[in-house]
Chain A
Amino acid sequence: DGGITQSPKYLFRKEGQNVTLSCEQNLNHDAMYWYRQDPGQGLRLIYYSQIVNDFQKGDIAEGYSVSREKKESFPLTVTSAQKNPTAFYLCATRQGAGGYTFGSGTRLTVV
C-alpha cells in the first residue's frame, strides 16, 4: 500500500544534540511538508518542498534544517539551535489540489 513512513515514532534528544527525523513516501507525490504540533496550538509549518532539490522556509524554520535529494525522502534535522524542540512532528505530502496525506508522526522529547 502507498503511504508515508515516519521514523522513529518516539525520539529522545539530549541538550545540545542534533537529531534527524525521517519521512519517506511511496505515493509519488511532488510536494512534501513538515509541521510541528504543540498542544492547543494546532499545526505550524516548518519547511516545505515542491520539487526535488528545492525547499522553502515555513513559519517557524529557525533551528531546523531539511534536504530533498530524492522525491521519496524529506528528512528534518532538529538542531541544537532549536531551544524548545519537544513536540509532535508531522510529515505530509500533496499531489494536486486534493489536500494533504499525513504520516503517523514522530514525538520528540528533550531529556
Chain B
Amino acid sequence: AQSVTQLGSHVSVSEGALVLLRCNYSSSVPPYLFWYVQYPNQGLQLLLKYTSAATLVKGINGFEAEFKKSETSFHLTKPSAHMSDAAEYFCAVSDTGYDKVIFGPGTSLSVIP
C-alpha cells in the first residue's frame, strides 16, 4: 500500500537560509510524486510534480525536489527562504497519476526574520 511520511511536523528556518523539507514514500511501482503548499484557510496549490522524467524537478516560487529511488525520498528544497514561504507543505504520492493521491501529514514551515 502507498504511504507518505514527512519528517518533522514543524520546521523553522531563518530568512535567507536553506529550506529542506523531507518526504519519504512507499509504493509498489515507480510513483508519481507531488509537493503542495497551503496557506492558512486556503486550498492546496501544486508546487511541483515528478512523473518519471528528470529526477530533479523545478517548481514554482524557487522550490525544487529530487527523486531518489534508492532512498525512496522526494525532499523539497529552496536555497533561500523568504517570509512569504511560511505555510504548510504536503508531500503526496500516486501509483499511476490517475488513481487516488495519498497525502502525507504535512510540515508547517516558519520563517524567522
Contacts and interface: CB of A to CB of B under 8 A. Distances in A.
A107 B41 contact: yes
A97 B45 contact: no
B43 A42 contact: no
B90 interface: yes
Q: A-side binding surface: helix, strand, loop or mixed?
A: strand
A94 to B, nearest CB: 8
B106 to A, nearest CB: 5
Given A40-B9, A102-B45, A97 B51 contact: yes
Interface residues of B, number: 24
A43 interface: yes
Interface residues of A, number: 25
Nearest to B9: A40
Given A41-B105, A43-B90, A100 B44 contact: yes
Nearest to B35: A99
Interface of A: 4, 6, 35, 40-43, 45, 48, 58, 88, 90, 92, 94, 96-105, 107
Given A6-B43, A105-B41, 12 more contacts: A35-B103, A40-B105, A41-B105, A90-B43, A96-B98, A97-B96, A97-B97, A97-B98, A100-B36, A100-B44, A102-B45, A107-B41
